[in-house]
Amino acid sequence: MTAPQTEPGREHPSDTVFGVAITRLDVAGAAQAIAGRAPGESFAYVVTPNAQHVVRLHRGGDARFRAAYDGAWLRLCDSQIMRHLSRRLFRKPLPSASGSDLTAHLFAHVITPDDTVTVIGGNDELERRLRDRFGLTRLARHEPPMGFSADPREVERCVRFVLDHPARFVFLAVGAPQSECLSLAIRSTGQATGVGLCVGSSLLFVTGLVERAPPLFRRLALEWLYRLAQNPRGHARRVFVDSLPLLGIALSAWWSEQRGQARPKPAARP
């Protein structure tokens, strides 16, 4: 853990936790920052680190994902477990700003029917519900094929769609690390505008296509358990293989910090 810092080119301070600089903004603060950007301002994107993301970054081997995280404008804590570990092991409280809560807040308080919205991912039913529920009149959506990130031509089609459909809000709904890497590719063109939002399954929740865990589960950091019970086959690997190693990462970081504090300081020279 390091002291809060302001990264070059970013006006919001952050705390580095488990190797990821987490922006110190809650849902309302993040929404205010996003709403405060002019519609025509250069493209910047938001990532929402959770346990799975931290484990993937810690393991290394995915330079594109690390570069995408390094290039993000905001990195908002999407994990209650990360928050608990950070507070209990390092006495560093992190604001809660999950992608699902942020998306719900944006649609409730920021996005208007006349706002330009572009979605990469989802299906026709998702698009229909977005239009019906929120009255969106300037919505554009592109649905890339499964595994598109392995095909440079398909990635280019996604980037081209965003450039051809400039929007104030660009939702990247193609999962991690595809959403983050695609956001970096869009930003790297230097031609895109608006805010990219890598917010996982949040559009499924906000449209009612998928039921989110009840508030009690979320408050107790047990949303993962609810989703595992709802879909054991689909979430077992994510929980036990992709996310559980966070506990080892956290304990290793804590132990390193304890050893550093216990190590005697060199005597001052006379």
**pLDDT value at 31 more than 80:** yes
Over residues 23-39, mean pLDDT: 95
Res 7: pLDDT: 42
CA 224-44-158 angle, to 5 degrees, is 80
CA distance 19 to 57: 8
Q: Report DSSP letters for 23-65, one per residue.
A: E---HHHHHHHHHTS-TTSBPEEEE---HHHHHHHHH---HHH
What CA–CA distances, in Å, run from 228 to 198, 206, 209, 235?
Answer: 22, 20, 17, 5
Binning pLDDT at 50, 70 and 90, where does residue 6 land? very low
Res 266: pLDDT: 58
Q: Is the pTM of this model over 0.85?
A: yes
CA distance 176 to 206: 19
CA gyration radius, the chain: 19
